[in-house]
């Protein structure tokens, strides 16, 4: 299978290092975990709902170049994915509005003889859902009292927007109120 996509890790496109993303294994949903308690002397179990576990993610790369470049490129990738770096921001070129926060976990699978130019890196998403991109900027001028402004969100789950208010004039603004409400649709 050939991918025509790339992945950006903490702002660095991996293709610029001489590696091509050829596989991405990401389950549609993380594993569901039941939160139950069995009490002595009581039949059945008490159900405290279901939560999601961490989500595994594996990226497979084909290392470009000849044999002499193979180990250097693998080492550069290992340095970028280093476990001590903590959460890495992964953005895929085919899903640019989502950021996946993941940490390298496990062991690198690659052929040290460099005959097979593929290398696989396992990751774990401790917060199993991607975040929406924060690059959206919305600017408006408030000209009257009690004005309602809708702030769009491209995320799947309602999340409070980050708001920055700037007074560009010299007049002091008094009795200013910010109210954040979500309207549930459907």
Query: Tokens representing 6?
Result: 């790339």
Phi, psi of 75 (to 5 degrees): -65, -40
CA dist 22 to 58, 60, 109, 120, Å?
A: 11, 6, 14, 10
pLDDT tens digits along 102-160: 999 988 877 666 567 889 999 999 999 888 765 556 677 766 666 666 666 655 555 56
Is domain 7-132 given the CATH code 2.40.30.200 in the classification? yes
Task: Work out the pLDDT band at 2, boundaries 50, 70, 90.
Answer: very low
Tell me the average pLDDT of the chain: 82
Whether the CB-CB separation of 6 and 93 falls below 8 Å is answered with yes
| Domain range summary for the chain, segments of one domain joined by + | 7-132
């Amino acid at each position: 299978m050939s991918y025509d996509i790339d992945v950006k890790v903490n702002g660095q496109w991996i293709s610029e290092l001489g590696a091509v993303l050829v596989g991405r294994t990401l389950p549609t949903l993380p594993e569901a975990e039941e939160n139950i308690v069995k009490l002595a002397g009581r039949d059945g179990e008490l159900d405290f709902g279901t939560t999601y576990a961490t989500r595994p993610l594996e990226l497979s790369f084909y290392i470009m170049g000849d044999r002499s470049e193979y180990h250097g490129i693998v080492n550069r990738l290992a340095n970028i994915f280093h476990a001590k770096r903590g959460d890495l921001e992964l953005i895929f070129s085919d899903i640019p509005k989502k950021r996946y926060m993941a940490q390298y976990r496990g062991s690198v699978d690659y052929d040290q003889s460099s005959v097979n130019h593929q290398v696989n890196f396992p990751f774990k998403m401790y917060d199993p859902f991607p975040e929406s991109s924060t690059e959206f900027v919305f600017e408006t001028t408030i000209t009257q009292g009690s004005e309602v402004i809708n702030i769009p969100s491209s995320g799947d789950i309602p999340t409070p927007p980050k708001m920055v208010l700037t007074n560009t004039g010299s007049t002091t603004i008094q009795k200013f109120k910010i109210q954040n409400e979500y309207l549930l649709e459907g």
